[in-house]
Amino acid sequence: MTEQHPSAHAHPASGGSAGGVEHCNVPHTENFTVVGNHLLQHPDLSLTAIGLAVHIQSLPARTPIGIKSLAAKFPEGEIRIAAALRELEEHGYLARTKERLQSGRVVTRTVSFNRPGAVVAAAAAPAPSPAQAEPETEKPQLHPKAARLLARIGVDEPRLTLTARDVSRLAPAVSAWLDRGVPATTVERVLTTGLPQDPIRHPAAFLAHRLTTDLPPSLPAPGPTTSPVAHHPDPLQTCDGCDRAFRAPQPGHCRDCRTTGRKAA
């Protein structure tokens, strides 16, 4: 499963300690997966976890890798597979997050990393010197959620795979969407749906165009809240005609006296 040098010999290599492994390597030209030795020789991962990681990295995008679907393919069973998945999460080879779709349904989004921390390490690298720095580039560690979103897009849609430098440049634009209350799932949908049939030669420029032209307006600021005006009843007055108490803003006659006076007139 590892990448082989084109000049590798097709016969066992001699030398080494007696009884040790000998390799008979033939270069692969199709149907192969490149896997790093950092995974294959990982000192803290179980063989089950290493094998599962290699299997996951070989799968096409969107292939289900839930515990039940994996247990249906392999003899290890759900308990061992669940434990291996947790190992891969702990060491950065796998990320599983729960997300709620607009329909209300909750789904598990899984991302497999063939080089754990590669994007994060590039994003957290020290800023270049003033002579090398570009004014429009912000430190990507200020936009971790946006950086993860951009890195995940290339997993789901290989034509939109970005370099670490591209992720750094586009992260502020994605953050502008998130800061305006747009859910991450909506941002991904805007960036990945309706793609052209022709090859996308410059995915970073393509995504930058969509992030700029389709940016939604900012939500209006909430208006000032006003406290309700307290209503105070009119003061008590003494009727000038019958000495009856009644409420009115100013002294005068009560309603009955006013009615009697109008009838007498």
Q: From CA 120, how far away is CA 138, in angstroms rounded?
A: 15
Q: What is the pTM of this model?
A: 0.44
* 3 state DSSP class of 110: strand
Domain boundaries of the chain, sorted by first residue: 1-6+26-114, 117-126+137-194+201-216
Q: CB within 8 A of 213, min separation 6: which ones?
A: none
Task: Say yes or no: domain 1-6+26-114 is CATH 1.20.140.10.
Answer: no
pLDDT for residue 55: 95
What per-residue string of b and e applies to 2-27 under the rule 16 or more CB within 10 Å gives b? eeeeeeeeeeeeeeeeeeeeeeeeee
pLDDT digits (tens, 9 = 90+) for 159-173: 888 888 888 888 888
What tokens does 214 get?
């389709």
pLDDT digits (tens, 9 = 90+) for 61-78: 889 888 999 999 999 999
Q: From CA 139, how far away is CA 133, in angstroms rounded?
A: 11
Helix/strand number for the chain, H first, E second: 10, 4
pLDDT digits (tens, 9 = 90+) for 118-157: 544 444 344 444 444 444 444 645 678 888 899 888 887 8
Q: From CA 179, how far away is CA 224, in angstroms rounded?
A: 22
